[in-house]
Amino acid sequence: MYEAYWNLKERPFQNTPDPRYLYLSPQHEDVLMKLTYAIAQGLGCALLTGVFGCGKTLIARVILRDLGNQRFCWAYVNNPAFSEPAELIRAILRSLSPQILPEKKTELLLDPLLERLYNVLLDNVREGKENVIVIDEAHIIEDTSILEQLRLILNFQTEDRFLLTLLILGQPELKSKIDALKPLSQRIAVRCHLGTLNEEEVGKYIAYRLKIAKGSDSANECEDIFDKEAAKLIFLHTGGIPRKINTLCDFVLLSGFAKKVNRIDSSFIDKVIKEFNLS
């Protein structure tokens, strides 16, 4: 809607996990490196916690995008609020290998599903492929038997290796849920946490997303849209949470277009916060 006015090819601040827009702050870079290492070295299980909207799902999407399909098979489960372990295993199988999903009711029992999963994982490994299973939003798991089942699938090993790498993602309370289950907690080889962006990073984040949306090579060019001081107010208002930054900046660009503003400065942002009731 406002793209042409701001000389952009697309809207820069959409709240979607689009890997092209990943701004690598030092902590995002560190998390990406650690999770990639866990997969590459077959360490078994890694945990990523972080406040809402800070980039956990985006990082997972970037990792899945970058895993070559020839070498990796992956499953992505993003709503693990299951009431029984069989549902978890079925969701993993559905994502990993939809064509072999069991249809008979008797095959929806846990043991045959586990056997099927084990065979799929083993076949992939025999074909020279690595298995990666991502469980996103894991903080919503209430039933400890589901977390216990995650531990049990980590027992899928041969003599010298895990048959899969499990990445568990969720909001900060996930850490205490997992720590309460010592056998699972002990199996987590890599733990990382994503916090909010600091003021300087917020400025770089905005510039980076504008650069991608412009299809431009230079982030400096983006200073023609947002005034330097603008990042400070955006940081103060959003607490450095990328999802909140996106929402605010999207409305700011929209409102700037509607009011035919030449450049976004702090006082304009302040007006938009009030106008859109953003808290």
Ligand X SMILES: Nc1ncnc2c1ncn2[C@@H]1O[C@H](COP(=O)(O)OP(=O)(O)OP(=O)(O)O)[C@@H](O)[C@H]1O
Q: Contact positions toward Mg ion, by CB under 5 A?
A: 56-57
Strands of the 130-135 sheet, one edge to the other: 72-77, 130-135, 165-170, 45-50, 190-194
Tell me the angle at which helices 199-214 and 230-238 cross, rounded to the nearest 10 degrees: 110
Stretch that binds ligand X, among 23-31, 84-92, 94-102, 142-150 (CB under 6 A): 23-31
Stretch that binds ligand X, among 69-77, 102-110, 217-225, 242-250 (CB under 6 A): 242-250
d(CA 27, CA 70): 29
Q: Contact, 193 vs 176, CB < 8 A?
A: no
Please give the size of the binding site for ligand X, defined by CB under 6 A. 21
CB nearer to ligand X: give 53 or 256.
53
Residue 11 binds which entry of Mg ion, ligand X, none, CB below 5-8 Å type-dependent: none
CB nearer to ligand X: give 94 or 204.
204
CB of 260 to ligand X, least distance (A): 28
d(CA 14, CA 92): 28
Of residues 96-155, those binding ligand X (CB under 6 A): 137
CB nearer to ligand X: give 129 or 243.
243
d(CA 19, CA 267): 32
d(CA 256, CA 253): 5
Of residues 182-201, those binding ligand X (CB under 6 A): none
The answer to whether 55 contacts ligand X (rule: CB under 6 A) is yes
Six token digits for residue 7: 């000389």
Nearest to 35 by CA among 142, 202, 147, 167: 167
Binding ligand X by CB under 6 A: which of 43, 47, 58, 114?
58
Residues of this chain that interact with ligand X (CB under 6 A) are 15-17, 21-23, 25, 28, 50, 52-58, 137, 171, 242-243, 246
